[in-house]
Structures are given as C-alpha cells and as structure tokens.
Structure 1
C-alpha cells in the first residue's frame, strides 16, 4: 500500500489498484445478446396479447 502524510501529520493509505484488462468484443457474444433481446421482446408481446385475449 502507498502511504502519504498530510500537513497535519495524518497518514492516508491508498490501496493498490488491479490492472485493467481490455476484453475484445467477439461476434458470437454480440449475436447472442441480440438474440436474447429479441426473445425478450417477443415474450413481452406474447404476454400482452394473452392479457388482451383474457380481458
């Protein structure tokens, strides 16, 4: 840990931050997320249709 001392004599300790790793976006994850969003939209529309049919 990195420790600094202020004017009044107080000590401040700073935690060491982990390295950041950049993850490249792959096309398969992009397609999977689009498919999941489309499936959710279809589910919402189907539930709305069922609720209209019941009422």
Structure 2
C-alpha cells in the first residue's frame, strides 16, 4: 500500500487507484439491445401500473 509521510511524522494511507481506460462507443448490436430492453422496461412498468389501477378499482 502506498504510504506518505507528512509533517510531524504522520502516515497517510491512500487507496490503490484503478487502471484508467477510454470507453468505447456501443456497437450496432448493443444499440439494438438497449432499445429492446428499454421497450421491455416500458411495457413492464406500464403493465404493472395497469394491474395496480385495475386491482385498486375493484370493490
């Protein structure tokens, strides 16, 4: 672990920094997957809201 000495003899312990890398833009296949997952999430949330509304209106 990397330690540094400060004035007065105090030691500071710093966390190890992760390796830095440049992000790559998504490929066409990944873009299609993101669109599909977004549509599936919208349908799921819409269905849950519809079920909740239906169940709450039953008396």
After TM superposition, the score normalised by the length of structure 1 is 0.64
Pair 43,19 (structure 1): closer, same or farther in 2 beyond 3 Å: same
Calculate the aligned-residue CA RMSD, in Å. 2.2
Structure with the higher helix share, 1 or 2: 2
After TM superposition, the score normalised by the length of structure 2 is 0.61
Structure 2 residues not aligned, in runs of 5+: none
Matched pairs, number: 54
Distance 2:37 2:50 in 1: 20
Distance 2:45 2:7 in 1: 57
Structure 1 residue ranges, 4+ long, deviating more than 3 angstroms after superposition: 20-25
Structure 1 residues not aligned, in runs of 5+: none
